[in-house]
Structure 1
Amino acid sequence: MKQLLISFIIYSVVVLAVAKDYNGYKVYDLSPTKEQIPFVMEWEFQTGIDFWSYGRANKAFRIMVSPEIESNFVNFLDKNEINYSIGIENVETTLKSDKITKRSLRLVNGIPNFNYYWSYPEMEEIFNRLATDYPNLVKLEVIGKSYLNQSIYGVRVSKNQEFGLNPIIFIDAGTHAREWAGIQSAFYFLHQLVENSTIHNDLLDNVDYVFVPVVNPDGFQYSFTEDRLWRKNRHYVNYTCTGIDLNRNYRYMWRYVANSCSGNGYPGVSALSEPETAAVAKYMESFKNNLRLYLSTHTYGGLVLWPFGFAMDIYIKNHKEHQKLGEKFANAISVATGTEYEVGNSADILYTAYGASDDFAIAYGGADFAYTLELPGGGPNGFDYPQDMIHDLVKETFIGYREFSLFIKERFKTVQ
C-alpha cells in the first residue's frame, strides 16, 4: 500500500481563531410550538443572531445572541410565550481551548493524522501529493477561484482511464466556514479511497468519485485565524456587511431577502453571484449525464436530509427511495457505533431554505439522489470536535459513506 512519502515527521504550530471576541454572547435553547416556529425563523437574517442548530420534534433551536440584541430577543421570546433556557452563558469560554497555540502532529509516518485540523495551505499540499503519488487514480484540478482568489479544488478518483463512464458520486464539504469536522470527514473518505484503494477496491469498482473538499476556502481560513464561528464566504458587500451564505446562493429556487446582508443566512444579490457557488455549479453540471449521487457534508445536527428544501410538502419523485437510502446510512452507523441520525425531507424535519446545493443537484446537476448530511455536534458549542475525537468521527462517517457507495454501485450497474 502506497503512502504519502515524507522523510521526516512534520510538526505544525497553529494559532486558531484568535481575533473575534465572543465575551457576552449567549446561546439560547428554544422549544417553540409548531405554530411559533415561523416567528422564530424571522430572526434568521437579523444582525447579532446566529442559528447554530434548528429545532424540530423533540429538538431545541440553538441560537447565539450578541449582547447588543439580547434584550430585544428576550422580549420577543417572552411576548410570544416561547419556552427557552440559556444553554451557554458565555460563548467565549467554549472557544478558549482554540485560542491556545497548539503543537500537533500533522503527519505520522507520512500518513495524514485525522486527530488534527489542517489549515487550507496544508490541505493544498496534501491534494497535490495525492495527485503526484497516484496519477492513475487521482486527477486534481482547479475548478475556480474564490472571492479572495484562492484556488478551489476538484479531485476526481477513478480506476478507469476515461472518467465518468461509471456512475458518479459527487461529494463536497466546507460550504460553511466553521464546519471543520465536515471537511475532515469528506477528506477521510477521499483518503481511504486513494491511500487504501486495495482495501476498498469494492468501492472503486464501477463507481467514479468527485470531491470538492473545501467549497469556501476564504471563509474556512478566516475561521482558522480570525473568527472560529464564521459561517459565510468573505465577499465584501459594504462597510457593514461581509459574506454570503453559499448554501443559499444556488440558482434553483433562489430568493432575495431584503435588508439581510449582515445576517448569517444572507443569500446574495442574485443566484450564483458568488465565485465559489458558480464554480461548484459549473463543475457539477459537467458530470450531469452520469451523476447519480450528490452529498454535501455539514455540521451539526445528526441529520440525513433529502430535497426539496424550499417549501413544505414538495418532494422529489423518488422520495421514498431517498428515505430508504438515507436510513441505510443511518442504520449502518447506529449498528456500528450507536450514533443516531434522523432521516427525512429537509423542509419537513428542519426548515425551509431557498437556493440550497442539494436542491440544485437534483434540478440542474442531473443527480438521481442528493443529500445534505449534518454530522453530530461535538465540543461545548457543537462545531468543535476535540482533536482527539476527530478520527473517531471521520471513521464513523465513512461507514455511512460506504453504504451510499455500495448502493449506487448496485443500483446503477455498468457493463465493463
Structure 2
Amino acid sequence: MRCLQSLSRIEIRFTIMKFSIIFHLSLLSLAQFALSEKQYRGCKVFTITSLANETQYNAVIDLQKVRGVDFWSEPSRKRYTDVMVYPDEQNNVEQYLAEYGIDYKVAISDVQGAVDKGKDLRSTRQNSQEMNWKEYQRLSVIHSWLDALAAHNPNIAQIGSIGRTTEGRDMKTIKLSSNLRKNNPIIFIDGGIHAREWISPAVVTYIIGKLMSFEPEDREIMANVDWVFLPVMNADGYEYTHTEDRLWRKSRSIHNGNDCIGVDLNRNFDFHWGENGVKDDPCANTYHGPYPFSEPESNATAKFMLANRNRIRAYITFHSYSQLMLTPYGYTEDLPDDYDQLEALGKRAIKALEEVHGTEYEVGAPSHILYSNSGSSRDFAKGVPEIKYSFTIELRDQGDYKFILPPQQIIPTAEETWEAVRVIARQVVQEASEEE
C-alpha cells in the first residue's frame, strides 16, 4: 500500500512537472510568435503640418520614392501629412524637410512602442470565440459571432457570402431586417478594406450589435431597411496584421513579375481607375493593381453592388483615420449633381455624431478637403450602380494614435458613429415611404 501511495505521489509530481514544461513551452512559443511579427522599433511618425507652396508639395511627393519612408496619409496642401520614417532614414528626412523649410513635428516617437501598448490580449485569447468591443477581434471571432447571431435569430438575420479572397477566405456578410420577406431598400456597409485600420471592422460589428438589440427607436429602420454588412472586405490583409505585420494595408495577392505583394483595394475599382492619387509601383501602399478589379475582393464587392443597384440606397464604407465624412468624388474636383443633398445629409449625420462625445468631423469631397484618389469603392458606388448616398467615413482619431487607436476607444468611437448611421437610415426610410 505504501508503495502504491508513493508511486501515486511520483505520478502526481511528474504530471505537475509535465504541465509546467508544457506551460513554459507554450509561453516560449508565444514569445517566438511575437518575435515573428514585423518590428517597428525606433520608427517615428512625422506630421507635416502644412505645405505652403507648390515647391514644398512637390518635395514631399518626391519623398514618397524613398524606401525607408511610409506615408500614412497622402501628401496634401489641405490637411496635415503623416509619414513613418525608419531609423536609418530619419536624419536624412529631417535634413530634407529643413532644406525646403517644411514644418513638421514628431507625432509618434517609437511606433513599435505604440503598437505594443495598443495590443489587446491576443497572446492569452488566441482560441477565444467571445465577441466584445473592449479589444480588437480576429476574423474567426467576427465570423463565428455572425453565424451565432443568424442561428439564434433566423427570422431577422441571414448569413451570406459575396465571394472569396485571394487566399480563399470567405467574404462573409450578414443581412438584418425585421421584415426579411419585404423588398426593402438596402443600406450596404463595409469595413476593413485597408487591413491596418482595425477600428473599421470593430465599428461595423458594433452597429450590427446595436441593431440586434432591438431598441424601440430603431423599429422603423429595422422594419423598412434591409441592412447588409460586410465587416471585413480585406480578410487576408486583416489576418496578416494580427499575425505578421500590424501596419500592413493592402490585399495579399501576388501578380506575375512583381516581388511585392498586394494591391490597395480602394484604388482597384473600375471607375476612373489609375487617374489620381495612385501608384504604378507594386511596392507602394497605394498601388492600384495591374488592372481594374484585379483583386477578387474589390470585384466581388462591385458585383454585389451592381446586382442590387435598384435597391441599394446608401453605401457606407468605414476607414481610419482623420474624422471625416467624405462624399464623392475623389478622382476629380467636380462634384456630383446632387452634392447639396449629400452634403446636407452628411452634416446632419455628423451633428448627431458630435452630440455623443463632442468629437468633431468635417464633411466634403476628398478632392476638396483631403486629397485626390481614384478607383475607390465610394466613387464606384456613386458613379456606376448610381447609389444615391455614398459615403466614406474616416473614423477616429485626428493624429494622436492614428492607425494604432487604443482598444479603449472602440466603444466611444462606435457609439458616436452609430448615431450618424441612424440619421442616414432614417433619411432612406423617409424617401422610400414618399415613393410608395
Q: TM-score, normalised by structure 1?
A: 0.88
Residue aligned with 1:27, SS: strand
Residue aligned with 1:294, SS: strand
Gaps of 5+ in 2: 1-26
Kindly indicate whether the alpha-carbon contact (under 8 Å) linking 1:94 and 1:380 is maintained by their aligned counterparts in 2.
no
**Which of the residues 198, 205, 209 maps onto 1:187?**
205
Give the equivalent residue in structure 1 for 2:295.
274
Kindly indicate whether the alpha-carbon contact (under 8 Å) linking 2:188 and 2:229 is maintained by their aligned counterparts in 1.
yes
Kindly indicate whether the alpha-carbon contact (under 8 Å) linking 1:55 and 1:350 is maintained by their aligned counterparts in 2.
no
For 1:358 and 1:292, locate their aligned partners in 2 and report how far apart those are by CA, in whole Å.
Answer: 13
**Which of the residues 385, 398, 401 maps onto 1:381?**
401
Aligned CA-pair RMSD: 2.8
Residue aligned with 1:122, SS: helix
Q: Deviations over 1:146-194 (max 9, x none)?
A: 111111112222233436x222111000000011111111111112112
For 2:258 and 2:335, locate their aligned partners in 1 and report how far apart those are by CA, in whole Å.
Answer: 40
2:171 corresponds to which letter in structure 1?
A: I
**Which of the residues 123, 129, 142 maps onto 2:142?**
123
Mapping 1:340-379, distance limit 5 Å: 340-377=360-397
Give the equivalent residue in structure 1 for 2:18.
none
Tell which structure's C-alpha radius of gyration is larger: 2
Give the equivalent residue in structure 1 for 2:233.
215
For 1:16 and 1:368, locate their aligned partners in 2 and report how far apart those are by CA, in whole Å.
Answer: 45
Give the equivalent residue in structure 1 for 2:188.
170
> How many angstroms does 1:64 deviate by?
0.8
Q: Deviations over 1:54-105 (max 9, x none)?
A: 5767842111122354455445423432222222222112112256755469
For 1:106 and 1:113, locate their aligned partners in 2 and report how far apart those are by CA, in whole Å.
Answer: 14
Q: TM-score, normalised by structure 2?
A: 0.84
> How many angstroms does 1:113 deviate by?
1.8
Q: Deviations over 1:31-51 (max 9, x none)?
A: 212533354345457533322
Give the equivalent residue in structure 2 for 1:302.
323
> How many angstroms does 1:264 deviate by?
0.7
**Which of the residues 262, 275, 284 maps onto 1:263?**
284
For 2:61 and 2:208, locate their aligned partners in 1 and report how far apart those are by CA, in whole Å.
Answer: 36
**Which of the residues 107, 113, 124 maps onto 2:132?**
113
1:180 corresponds to which letter in structure 2?
A: W
Give the equivalent residue in structure 2 for 1:402.
422
Highest RCO, 1 vs 2 (Cα 8 Å, sep ≥ 6): 1
Kindly indicate whether the alpha-carbon contact (under 8 Å) linking 2:57 and 2:77 is maintained by their aligned counterparts in 1.
no
Give the equivalent residue in structure 1 for 2:13.
none
**Which of the residues 28, 35, 49 maps onto 2:46?**
28
Query: Which structure carries more helix by proportion?
Result: 2
Structure 1 position 335 matched with structure 2 position 355: yes
Query: Which structure carries more strand by proportion?
Result: 1
Residue aligned with 1:324, SS: helix
Structure 1 position 135 matched with structure 2 position 154: yes
Kindly indicate whether the alpha-carbon contact (under 8 Å) linking 1:17 and 1:228 is maintained by their aligned counterparts in 2.
no
Please, which moves more after superposition, 45-54 or 241-250?
45-54
Residue aligned with 2:161, SS: strand
Residue aligned with 2:137, SS: coil
Kindly indicate whether the alpha-carbon contact (under 8 Å) linking 2:267 and 2:375 is maintained by their aligned counterparts in 1.
yes
Kindly indicate whether the alpha-carbon contact (under 8 Å) linking 1:28 and 1:64 is maintained by their aligned counterparts in 2.
yes
Q: How many residues align?
A: 400
